[in-house]
Amino acid sequence: MVAQKTYTAKPNEVTQDWWLIDAAEKGVGHLASKIAVILMGKDKPTYTPHVDTGDFIVVVNVEKVTFSGKKWEQKTYTWYTGYTGQKSITAGKRQEKSPELILTEAVRRMLPKNKLASKMLTKLKVFVGPDHTHQAQDPQPRELV
């Protein structure tokens, strides 16, 4: 019987690609879960839990994402400010003020809860509109199924 060896990626062996994703007319939850998998590197055969093996992602047209049902009026985002009580805002108002936060928060909550997650989240670049500032990295278009 031949002993199998488990491959473990080293941080200096990892190659990270740049992907361009168009978020127009896509559901927030479905899109965020696919992006989180790519950021973690789980779509690669060299995935290693303790090494950041994920790719960079540039998301454009984030203001055109959709929610199902009545979530634009009913879904609320709350946060603690340091003062008594919590601040709260509906998804519709957040869409008007800063639409990139809707997708960023959804992806952040789908990443692992460890020190590596903040490093993974910095590889997510979210832009309102079709233009972005990462043309020099030549992100390849990727269609999420």
Tell me the pLDDT tens digit for each residue of 42-51.
999 999 999 9
Q: pLDDT tens across 96-138, in order?
A: 999 999 999 999 999 999 999 999 999 999 999 999 999 999 9
In-domain check, residue 64: yes
4: which 2 tokens? Answer: 């199998």
Mean pLDDT confidence for 13-33: 96
What does the CA dihedral 62, 67, 72, 78 come to, rounded to 10 degrees?
A: -80
In a domain, 84, yes or no: no
Q: What's the predicted TM-score (pTM) here?
A: 0.92
The rounded distance, in Å, linking the Cα atoms of 33 and 109 is: 10
Residue 86 CB contacts under 8 Å (≥ 6 apart), including other chains: 78, 79, 80
Element (H, E) at 102: helix 100-110
User: Are 12 and 134 spatial neighbours (Cβ–Cβ below 8 Å)?
Assistant: no
What is the CATH classification number for the domain harbouring 38? 3.90.1180.10
User: 103 in a domain, yes or no?
Assistant: yes
Helix (H) or strand (E) segment spanning residue 120 = helix 115-121
Residue 45: Cβ-neighbour burial (10 angstroms; 0-12, 13-18, 19+): exposed
Q: Look at residue 117 and tell me if it is in a domain.
A: yes
11 in a domain, yes or no? no
Distance, CA of 112 to CA of 49 (rounded, Å): 10
Q: Is residue 42 part of a domain?
A: yes
Q: Sign of dihedral through CA atoms 38, 44, 46, 48? A: positive
Q: Can you give the pLDDT at residue 1?
A: 81
Q: Report d(CA 112, CA 108) in Å as an integer.
A: 8
- What domain count does the chain have? 1
- Asked whether residue 35 is domain-assigned, the answer is yes
Residue 81, domain member (yes or no): no
Q: Which domain holds residue 53?
A: 16-68+99-141
Q: 20 and 60 in contact (C-beta within 8 Å)?
A: yes
